[in-house]
Amino acid sequence: MMTQIDSSRALVSRLKSALFKKRLLLFFSGILATATAVILTSIILSLVALVVVLPVAVKGSLLILSGLATLYIFGKYSFKHFFTGDIESVAVELEKKYPELKGIFIAAIQFSRQKLNPGYSNELVDATITQAVNKAGNLNFNETVSFYPIVKTGRYLAVSAILAVCLIIFAPGLFTYSYTVYSNVGEVVEPPLGYQLSANPGSTEWVKYRDIKIGGSLTGDKLPRNATIFYKFVGGSWQNSEVDLRKNKLVTTDRGDSLGFDITLRQVNKSFDYYVESGREKTDVYQVNVVDRPRVTGIKLNVFYPKYTGLAPTIIDENNGTFSAVKGSRVTIEVEPNLPVKSAELIFDDKSEIPLKLETNKGTASFVVEESKSYHIRLTDHLGEKNPDPIEYYVTSVPDEYPSIDVISPGYDVNLSDEVILPVKLHIYDDYGFTSLVMKYQLVTQGRPSDENVAVLHFSDNIKTEGEVEFNWDIDALNLFPGDYVAYSFEIADNDIISGPKISKTRKYIARIPSLEEIVSQTEQSNRQRIDETEKVLRTGKELAKRLQNAIRKSEAQMKTGEQADWQNQKELEAITNKNEEMVKQIEKLAEQMDKSLDDLNDKQLMSREVLEKMQQIQKLFEEIATPEMKEAQRKMMEALKNMDKNQLEEAMKEFEMSQEDLLKRLERTMALLKKMQLEQKMEAMVRKAEELADQQEEMNKSASESKESDLPQLSKKENELKESLEQLKKELDELEKTAQDAEMEKSPELEKFKEALEKTDANKNMDQMAQQMNKQNKSGAKKEGEEAHSKLMQMLNQMQQQMMAMQGGDKEKIEKAFKDAIDDANYLSKNQEQLFQEAAAMQAEDMMMRQIAEQQQDILASCAGLKNRIAEIGKESPFLGMELDKLIDETFREMEFALTEFDQKKKSQGLRSQRDAMAKLNKASQQLMESLNQQKECNKGGSCDKNTSTLQSLCEKQNKLNQETQSQCNNPNGQKPQPGQSQSDSQGGREAFERLAAEQGSIRKSLEELSREFGNSRQVLGRLDDIAKEMKDVEEALAEGEVGNDITEKQIKVFSRMLEASRSLYKKDFSEQRKASTAEQTLIYLPPGLTDDILNDNSKLEDRLRNYLGDTYPKQYEDQIKAYFKALMQSQNSATRQETNR
């Protein structure tokens, strides 16, 4: 820039201005140099502080030196430039810049100063000044001002600044650290570390009894090798755990290496403080506040049961959430936690949840029990922490169980008896109650089922949840016929209103009216099976007897020779004993089976009273086969075999052999009676079938008369079935013949006539003709053939009944005579034995007449053997002969044998004792024979029945006799043949006979009507007595008018059959009550003691015994014999006393 200069003063001013600018530039250059020095000093100090830990003195010295150095540089390179240089130096620089000015500016400046002190001429001075001024006007004085120093020092400053920036970038914290070091002059500050340390998890809350990890993390370079974790629980002291960091894994990041470490504190239950130290780093102290987990401290349940159960609400305050409740119950649960919680829920196993309403630190919820499931309670606190391991509770939904119903009686399928009343007893149970009880039944008639019927059964209001319902079902009102049945079941409904009433059903039971064919078949099968099993037992017994005899002979031979008992023989005896025990059990089983058969036969009313009573006696015989003496002998045998005592074994074998013989005798007798009874049962069953055939034919005739001709072909099938039934009945004659052979009665004339009645009837031909006429729709022809068939059937039935009763009556007389003969023989033997006893008592022991006494005893012994055989034969004919009688006669026989031996050896006292014992046993045998005869007569006369039953049976016998007389009168009135054109009732004698028969029929009718009034409409009598009396009235009127033909005789036969049927029905109850009385009560039987040795010296005893005997219910015809017997005893006693006195 060019500025006009017009004076030296201006020139000087211009030079001063240039000098000022130059000084100013140099000052700023010094400032830059000072800044550079400061930066470099800072870098150096920072590096020194980083490398070396500076002591306070050194650090202070460095700071002072740095400060001095900075001041020096500032003073030297900045501050002094304000005082350095002058205008002459500026002029010199201009002259150097412009060589043409060389010396001018200097001279001018000097001359301007010398005006005051001139030393040169003024012109020179002025000229020089003028020249300098002139030339200075064209010059740029700023060219003397150089920016190079600023540029130079600025370059240094920039380099130092860049270096500082690089250090800041690549060594962050360097200057911060150096500032820290040098700002704290009075402290020793270590150099910064290459890593950072932090604590984990810091300050926090932790749940009690949970493991916690505490530690830290290092980030950076040159990480230390170890770390220490310090912790202190509340109320405790500091503890530490060393951690070897070399075992931990390094993780490289963009910030350097990173390393974490920790320790685990187990089951922490207290709050604690902790900090971490590693290398020279140490964290602050942190706190971990340990708090409880949320948990359930109390549970209370309120259970409200469904109303229909009648159960009161239940409170369960047992701190247990498990409970049982009826399905449909509402449950309120109240949960109490240990601390305030944010939320609470019931979590069920089906993933469903029910929230609890929280109030005052309690939670409540309500739900309905529908099914069994489990649940737990979930609590959540403000930390989001849940109750650990919640207890699983169980809700048991107790279903309203199905009601139960059991049919106690009958409880099985039954065959109905003739009463056709089914006693029913039900047991019902439900947990809460019932709404209804019904019986459903369906009739099946001739194979065709009816619609189902429903009957509502009412029961007592007192039955709430359990009880028994009893009623008698009158099935007779259903009009069932043999072979028909009713299928019935029961249903009970409970009172469940939640799920709906539940219904339980019983199985279907069958109540059936068995056909006569089925009853007979079952009975005969039972009889055959019983006889077969008895024969099997008998065969087994005989085999055992043979084995026993062989074993005994072998044992006796060994005993005689003194040999040791054979082990094999001992085992054989044991086997025989065991086999005998099995046989006894089989006999007892047979007795039980027969007892059941008796009840069954009585219920079915198949057999007559006589047959049932005989079978009952046979059943008792079965029970008496295995006597207590035999069982005792068997026990002694086993004991002897165990002890192997020779004497004991010998005695035991003898007793066992005797008991075995007695058992076989009893079995053989029972077998004979069973076979005889089988024959009687077979005949009676065939008679019942014949009765049924006649009734069915009569019913068929009635149906044919009432049916239209177009409906007759439908009845022909039934008529053919009746014909086949008759033919089948004829085929049973072969089986009857075989049964008679087994009973050894095949030659019985009554049996032959019984068979002949069935064989000769040709009613089956009329039945066949009737069926054909029905198919032709010929009603009159069918009716005629039907009536003819029925007439022939009634004649056949009458013959069969008469012959069966004749055979039974003949047997009765035969058996009674045999009993009387046996009683006479026993009394005769007793009398002879007493006489011989008296004679022997009067003799001396050495008397030669003792031999004669022995011979007389031998004769009595032979007679006793005859009595024994006679009683054995009676036992095969009559079941009323007691089993003990055989044993009594055997004992009598042995006592007589002993007496014979003793008298033969002149052992008077022993012989008399044996005679006395034999006499006592004979007397007892005579007494038992009379008792057996009484029982036999009672059976024959029906004496065991009650009054009404006996009356009806007596009327049956009278009616049968009347029927025979009527038939005889019809065939041959007055024993003469009627005149031609005259009927059998036209003659005077015939009319009188029929009038007498009518009177007898009237007498029977009146007795029956009186009996009927006593019974009323009792169902005990199957054939209604009043109906029978009406039929008798018809017969009575016909007989009185003399109008007697086949129709009247057939009606009489029908009346008799119905009376027999009624008798069987009546006897059923009577027989059942007798059996109940005999089984339910134990009757004490007085067994008289044996005769004493001074029996002949005690008059009072004999007289008292006579009174006792005469006071007993002995048959009238034996009273004289009893008196004569005791009279002879007393006479012989007096005679013996006189003889003894004479001596």
Q: In this predicted structure, what is the pLDDT of residue 1111?
A: 47
Q: How confident is the model at residue 928 (pLDDT cuts 50, 70, 90)?
A: confident
Q: In this predicted structure, what is the pLDDT of residue 1104?
A: 54
Whether residue 410 has a cis bond before it, omega within 30° of 0: yes
CA distance 828 to 839: 17
Residue-wise pLDDT tens digits, 144-154? 667 777 788 88
Position 90 pLDDT exceeds 50: yes
CA distance 681 to 732: 13
Q: In this predicted structure, what is the pLDDT of residue 678?
A: 79
In the sheet that 373-380 helps form, which strands lie side by side, from edge to edge? 323-326, 393-398, 373-380, 343-348, 353-355
* Signed CA dihedral, 729, 730, 734, 736: sign only: positive
Between the CA atoms of 993, 997, 999 and 1001, what dihedral angle is there, to the nearest 10 degrees? -170
CA angle 693, 696, 698 (to 5 degrees): 110
Position 26 pLDDT exceeds 80: no
Q: In this predicted structure, what is the pLDDT of residue 1129?
A: 56
User: For the structural domain made of 194-291, what CATH number should be given?
Assistant: 2.60.40.10
β 393-398/323-326 pair status: parallel
C-beta of residue 836 within 8 angstroms of C-beta of residue 858: no
Q: In this predicted structure, what is the pLDDT of residue 213?
A: 92
Q: In this predicted structure, what is the pLDDT of residue 979?
A: 47
Any bridge partners for residue 376, and if so which?
Answer: 347
Provide the token pair at 900.
């014979």
Q: Which of 40-49, 735-744, 974-983 has the lowest mean pLDDT?
A: 974-983
Scan for tokens 């540089």, then name that residue: 73
C-beta of residue 29 within 8 angstroms of C-beta of residue 151: no
CA distance 951 to 1008: 9
Q: Quick one: angle between helices 779-842 and 712-742, nearest 10?
A: 20
Q: What single letter denotes the amino acid at residue 330?
A: R
Provide the token pair at 315.
């409170």
Scan for tokens 């085929």, then name that residue: 731
Class (C level, CATH) for 404-512 = mainly beta
* Highest mean predicted confidence (pLDDT) among 152-161, 497-506, 986-995, 1064-1073: 497-506
Q: How confident is the model at residue 1082 (pLDDT cuts 50, 70, 90)?
A: very low
Q: Where are the alpha helices (DSSP H) in 707-747?
A: 712-742
Q: What single letter denotes the amino acid at residue 844?
A: Q
Q: In this predicted structure, what is the pLDDT of residue 265?
A: 92
Q: Which of 164-173, 334-343, 396-405, 513-522 has the lowest mean pLDDT?
A: 513-522
CA distance 772 to 774: 5
* Highest mean predicted confidence (pLDDT) among 102-116, 122-136, 580-594: 580-594
Q: What share of the chain in percent tops pLDDT 90?
A: 13
Question: What's the chain's average pLDDT?
Answer: 77
Q: Whose CA is closest to 19, among 101, 115, 93, 128?
A: 93
Position 689 pLDDT exceeds 50: yes
Kindly calculate the radius of gyration of the chain based on its CA atoms and give it in whole angstroms.
71
Q: What share of the chain in percent tops pLDDT 70?
A: 72
C-beta of residue 684 within 8 angstroms of C-beta of residue 801: no
Q: Whose CA is closest to 49, among 161, 153, 191?
A: 191
Q: In this predicted structure, what is the pLDDT of residue 1020?
A: 46
CA distance 992 to 1042: 9
DSSP string, 561-586: HTPPPPHHHHHHHHHHHHHHHHHHHH
* Signed CA dihedral, 206, 207, 209, 210: sign only: negative
Section 696-722 average pLDDT = 87
Of 436 and 943, the structure prediction assigns the larger pLDDT to 436
Q: In this predicted structure, what is the pLDDT of residue 897?
A: 81
Q: In this predicted structure, what is the pLDDT of residue 982?
A: 46
* Highest mean predicted confidence (pLDDT) among 92-106, 820-834, 1080-1094: 820-834
CA distance 105 to 33: 33
In CATH, the architecture of 296-398 is: Sandwich (2.60)
Position 691 pLDDT exceeds 50: yes
In CATH, the architecture of 819-943 is: Up-down Bundle (1.20)
Residue-wise pLDDT tens digits, 308-357? 888 899 999 888 899 999 989 999 999 999 888 889 999 999 989 999 99
CA distance 202 to 208: 17
Position 908 pLDDT exceeds 80: no
Of 112 and 1117, the structure prediction assigns the larger pLDDT to 112
- Please tell me whether residue 203 adopts helix, strand or coil conformation: coil
Section 1021-1034 average pLDDT = 70
Q: In this predicted structure, what is the pLDDT of residue 104?
A: 62
Question: What contacts 842, CB < 8 A, 6 or more positions away?
Answer: 1136, 1139
User: For the structural domain made of 519-677, what CATH number should be given?
Assistant: 1.20.120
Q: Which of 25-29, 66-70, 294-298, 830-834 has the lowest mean pLDDT?
A: 25-29
Provide the token pair at 708.
């239209």
C-beta of residue 376 within 8 angstroms of C-beta of residue 393: yes
Q: In this predicted structure, what is the pLDDT of residue 1143?
A: 45
Section 887-899 average pLDDT = 81
Residue-wise pLDDT tens digits, 838-863? 877 877 766 667 777 777 888 888 88
Q: In this predicted structure, what is the pLDDT of residue 288?
A: 92
Q: Which of 267-271, 888-892, 1057-1061 has the lowest mean pLDDT?
A: 1057-1061
Q: How confident is the model at residue 1078 (pLDDT cuts 50, 70, 90)?
A: very low
Question: What contacts 157, CB < 8 A, 6 or more positions away?
Answer: 32, 33, 35, 36, 39
Residue-wise pLDDT tens digits, 394-412? 999 988 888 999 999 888 8
Residue-wise pLDDT tens digits, 539-556? 787 777 777 777 777 776
Phi, psi of 777 (to 5 degrees): 60, 35
For the chain, what is the total number of helices (H) and then of strands (E)?
A: 25, 30
Residue-wise pLDDT tens digits, 773-789? 889 888 888 888 998 98
Q: Quick one: angle between helices 749-760 and 779-842, nearest 10?
A: 170
Q: In this predicted structure, what is the pLDDT of residue 391?
A: 92
CA distance 339 to 346: 18
Section 156-181 average pLDDT = 81
C-beta of residue 880 within 8 angstroms of C-beta of residue 935: yes
Q: Which of 92-96, 202-206, 769-773 has the lowest mean pLDDT?
A: 92-96
Q: Whose CA is closest to 842, among 773, 912, 921?
A: 912
Of 657 and 283, the structure prediction assigns the larger pLDDT to 283
Section 139-162 average pLDDT = 76
Scan for tokens 């800044």, then name that residue: 35
Section 590-613 average pLDDT = 64
Q: How confident is the model at residue 607 (pLDDT cuts 50, 70, 90)?
A: low
Q: How confident is the model at residue 8 (pLDDT cuts 50, 70, 90)?
A: low
Q: In this predicted structure, what is the pLDDT of residue 932?
A: 78
CATH fold match for the domains 296-398 and 519-677: no
> In the chain, what are the domain boundaries?
8-182, 194-291, 296-398, 404-512, 519-677, 819-943, 945-973+987-1077
